[in-house]
Amino acid sequence: MAGIQLKNVSKRWGNFVGVDNFDLTIADREFLVLLGPSGCGKTTTMRMIAGLEDVTEGQIIIGDRVVNGLEPKDRDIAMVFQSYGLYPNMNVYENIRFPLKVRKVDPATHDDRVMRAADMVELRDFLHRKPAELSGGQRQRVALARAIVREPNVFLMDEPLSNLDAKLRVSTRAQIKNLQHELQVTTIYVTHDQIEAMTLADRVVVMKHGVIQQVGTPTQIYDRPANTFVAGFIGSPAMNLMEGHLQGGVFTGDHVRISGLPGPDGPITLGFRAEDASVARTDGETEITAPVYTMELLGDATMITVKARGSMVSVKAGKEYRIEIDETVGLHIPAAICHLFHHETGVRLDP
């Protein structure tokens, strides 16, 4: 097994910076997720670890070896891509077996290793089929088994669930989580889907424009986002963010007044999560009073969205709650649930 260190790793193409000064230690057997929007540098970072992209600056260390100059085949890694990359002329058994043949592993061990990998992803009954006879979820499981059979030191997974429908994503996600627990192999997983990151990761690295924004457990990133980018990217829905003014512990804006906030006087960005606030009687204690913009029935809750100070503000109410669009509603936002951010830099202001 092997931990991974990325020491001040950068990737540039001319004047374009894809990854900038990426510095991180990944523990042995850790499940680390690189998360961010398209173009943030997460896949480029993974490709540099794999050896598919050259490093412009910095070092990549797998175990105790600096691997910058090593070919991908010599890094003892296995990759699972968004596109399954299966050989259409081979059946499932031969697709899974292929890495063993290429690496000249003792043929006497092939059958045991293929069957063990197939069992882990529940493919034993499909070994005789060609990829064209499989569903998308089954093809992705073949790709997973092909990586497992290698018994590598590191798994790299580049958006492996993107081609699956919503139901298959949920079941395959659970399978990947269970496999990593069973195999105990260091895993780096790339995604733009924050739900995948929150459910799979031991730690999440949130990236933007090639720069690390925050590293932490899913709970740390959700509960204490480092800046407004992370706050607005993590969560479903994302954290509500409102511009306003703080004076003597009171945040004010159009339709908004929240008291008891510790922070510097002046312009500020305030954030809170939809599930932490509540709908209140308009003649009771309310920090926001505004007309309803939309109501969405989610099954387990009702999402109420209002417009306040030009911002869309969402709050989750009980699943039985109903209200009409344009009807005025009061929202209760206790100071204890609020997050404060610098109005220019977006950096979190700790109380």
Which stretches does DSSP call E strand in the chain? 4-13, 16-26, 31-35, 57-62, 65-66, 77-80, 154-158, 186-191, 203-208, 211-216, 240-247, 250-253, 256-258, 266-272, 278-280, 288-297, 302-308, 311-317, 328-332, 339-342
- Kindly indicate the confidence band of residue 83, based on its pLDDT and cuts at 50, 70 and 90: confident
> Is the whole model's pTM more than 0.85, yes or no?
yes
Question: Which has more pLDDT, 337 or 309?
Answer: 337
First-to-last alpha carbon distance for the chain, in angstroms, is 41
In this prediction, residues 20-45 reach a mean pLDDT of: 96
pLDDT score, position 282:
60
Cα dist. 1→65, 90, 155, 183 in Å?
A: 13, 31, 11, 10
Q: What percent of the chain has pLDDT over 70?
A: 98
What CA–CA distance (Å, rounded) separates 5 from 84?
28
Question: Which has more pLDDT, 295 or 140?
Answer: 295
What CA–CA distance (Å, rounded) separates 229 from 239?
10
The CATH code belonging to domain 4-228 is 3.40.50.300
The CATH code belonging to domain 238-342 is 2.40.50.140
pLDDT score, position 281:
67
Q: Write the burial class of residue 275 (CB in 10 Å: 0-12 exposed, 13-18 middle, 19+ buried).
A: middle
Number of C-beta neighbours around residue 8 at 10 A: 12
What CA–CA distance (Å, rounded) separates 226 from 235?
14
pLDDT score, position 284:
63
In the chain, which segments carry CATH 3.40.50.300? 4-228
Closest CA to 241 of 229, 259, 223, 257: 229
- Kindly indicate the confidence band of residue 1, based on its pLDDT and cuts at 50, 70 and 90: low
What CA–CA distance (Å, rounded) separates 238 from 229?
10
pLDDT in tens, 181-229: 888 999 999 999 999 999 999 999 999 999 999 999 999 999 999 999 9
Q: What percent of the chain has pLDDT over 90?
A: 75
In the chain, which segments carry CATH 2.40.50.140? 238-342
